[in-house]
C-alpha cells in the first residue's frame, strides 16, 4: 500500500475514495489568509466548512488543493477544514504564476530544497506536509522566471517520488514545452498530470500529451471560453480513444476568495455559472456522460481508480 501526505497526516491511497484532483479551498495572494483574513470575508471559515460538508454529503471523499504559497496557501486552514468535515485534503508545494522579482537568480536546486522540506518536514513551521508538487506556465509558454521552478519541481519529485501537477495553457500547447523540460530532468512522465487540458477541444494535441505517458487534468468545470458540454464531449472522445484510465476531471473551484468592493465577477454571476460548487460534475456532467453511453464503471474509474493510480505511480 502506498501512503501519501494529507493535511492530517499519512493517508493510504486505498482511503482516497472519490477524489477531485484540482480544487482550491482558498484562492488569494501570498500571506493574505494569515495577515488580512478580513479580505476573504468575515465568515470565510464557515463558507469553507459548508462547502466541504456539502461535498462530503454528495460523496466527495478527497480534494487535492492546488493552492501554492503565491495563491494564498494556509495549511492550518486546510487542516482545520479537513478535521471539521471529514474530507481528506492533499496540500501542494511548488509555485504558480506569481513569481516575485526577488526570486530572480534563485536556482532550481535552491527551490527544490524548499519544496523537499515541505514534503518531508512540513509547511510554514507546522508538521503539515505537501502531497503533490506544482509548477505553472500559461499563455507566454515556460518563461525564464518559471523554468527554475519547473526544474526544481522535477528535482524534488526525483528525490521524494511525490507526483507533479502542471498548470498549463492548452490552447497554446504549452504542455509540449513543459514536458520537454521534465524529460530533460529525467522525470518519468507517468508521474505527471497536465492540468487545464479541457480548456482546448484539440483532441489531437491531447492524445499527443497522453502518448507521452502523462495524465490529463480535465479540471475546469464549468470553466470559461469552452462550454461545459464541449468539455464533456472532449472527455468522451478521449475515453472512446482508449485513454479513460489517464483522465482526472475536476472543477478548479474555490470556496473562499478575495471579497472586493468592486469584484471582477459578482458573486451572483459566480453562483449562476456554478450553483453546485464541488458537486457540479456529479450533478451536471455525470448525466451528460451517462447519456453519451459512459458506464458507471468508467465513471468510478475516473474519480476513484485514476487518482489512486496517479499517486501510486501506476
| Residues near Zn ion (CB under 5 A) | 66, 252
The C-alpha atoms of residue 96 and residue 165 are separated, in whole angstroms, by: 11
Nearer to Zn ion, 174 or 239 (CB): 174
Give the CA dihedral 30, 36, 42, 46, nearest 10 degrees: 40
Nearer to Zn ion, 118 or 219 (CB): 219
DSSP state of 191: G
Give min distance, CB of 129 to Zn ion, in A.
20
Nearer to Zn ion, 82 or 257 (CB): 257
Strands 192-195 and 62-65: unpaired
Give min distance, CB of 24 to Zn ion, in A.
6
The DSSP secondary structure of 121-181, one letter per residue, reads T-STTSS----EEEEE-BTTBS-TTHHHHHHHHHHHHHHH---EEEE--GGGTTHHHHHHH
The C-alpha atoms of residue 205 and residue 197 are separated, in whole angstroms, by: 10
Nearer to Zn ion, 52 or 294 (CB): 52
The C-alpha atoms of residue 30 and residue 154 are separated, in whole angstroms, by: 23
Give min distance, CB of 26 to Zn ion, in A.
11
Give min distance, CB of 73 to Zn ion, in A.
12
Give min distance, CB of 234 to Zn ion, in A.
19
Strands 9-12 and 3-6: antiparallel
Which cell is 99 given? 513569481
Nearer to Zn ion, 216 or 294 (CB): 216
Give min distance, CB of 283 to Zn ion, in A.
20
Nearer to Zn ion, 74 or 252 (CB): 252
Amino acid at each position: 500500500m502506498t501512503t501519501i501526505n494529507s493535511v492530517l497526516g499519512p493517508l493510504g491511497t486505498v482511503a482516497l475514495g472519490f477524489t477531485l484532483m484540482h480544487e482550491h479551498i482558498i484562492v488569494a495572494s501570498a500571506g493574505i489568509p494569515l495577515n488580512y483574513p478580513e479580505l476573504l470575508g468575515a465568515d470565510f471559515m464557515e463558507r469553507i466548512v459548508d462547502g466541504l460538508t456539502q461535498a462530503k454529503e454528495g460523496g466527495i471523499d478527497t480534494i487535492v488543493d492546488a493552492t501554492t504559497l503565491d495563491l494564498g496557501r494556509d495549511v492550518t486552514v486546510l487542516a482545520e477544514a479537513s478535521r471539521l468535515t471529514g474530507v481528506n485534503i492533499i496540500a501542494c508545494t511548488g509555485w504558480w504564476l506569481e513569481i516575485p522579482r526577488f526570486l530572480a537568480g534563485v536556482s532550481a536546486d535552491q527551490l527544490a530544497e524548499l519544496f523537499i522540506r515541505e514534503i518531508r518536514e512540513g509547511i510554514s513551521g507546522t508538521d503539515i506536509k505537501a502531497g503533490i508538487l506544482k509548477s505553472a506556465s500559461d499563455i507566454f509558454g515556460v518563461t525564464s522566471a518559471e523554468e527554475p521552478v519547473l526544474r526544481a519541481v522535477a528535482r524534488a519529485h526525483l528525490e521524494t517520488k511525490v507526483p507533479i501537477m502542471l498548470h498549463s495553457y492548452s490552447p497554446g500547447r504549452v504542455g509540449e514545452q513543459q514536458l520537454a523540460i521534465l524529460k530533460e530532468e529525467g522525470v518519468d512522465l507517468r508521474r505527471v498530470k497536465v492540468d487545464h487540458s479541457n480548456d482546448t477541444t484539440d483532441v489531437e494535441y491531447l492524445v499527443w500529451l497522453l502518448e507521452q505517458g502523462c495524465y490529463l487534468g480535465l479540471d475546469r468545470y464549468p470553466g470559461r471560453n469552452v462550454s461545459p458540454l464541449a468539455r464533456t464531449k472532449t472527455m468522451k472522445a478521449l475515453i472512446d480513444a482508449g485513454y479513460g484510465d489517464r483522465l482526472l476531471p475536476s472543477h478548479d473551484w474555490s470556496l473562499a476568495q478575495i471579497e472586493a468592493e468592486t469584484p471582477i465577477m459578482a458573486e451572483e454571476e459566480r453562483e449562476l455559472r456554478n450553483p453546485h460548487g464541488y458537486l457540479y460534475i456529479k450533478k451536471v456532467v455525470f448525466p451528460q456522460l451517462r447519456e453519451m453511453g459512459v458506464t458507471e464503471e468508467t465513471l468510478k474509474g475516473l474519480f476513484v481508480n485514476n487518482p489512486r493510480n496517479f499517486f501510486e505511480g501506476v
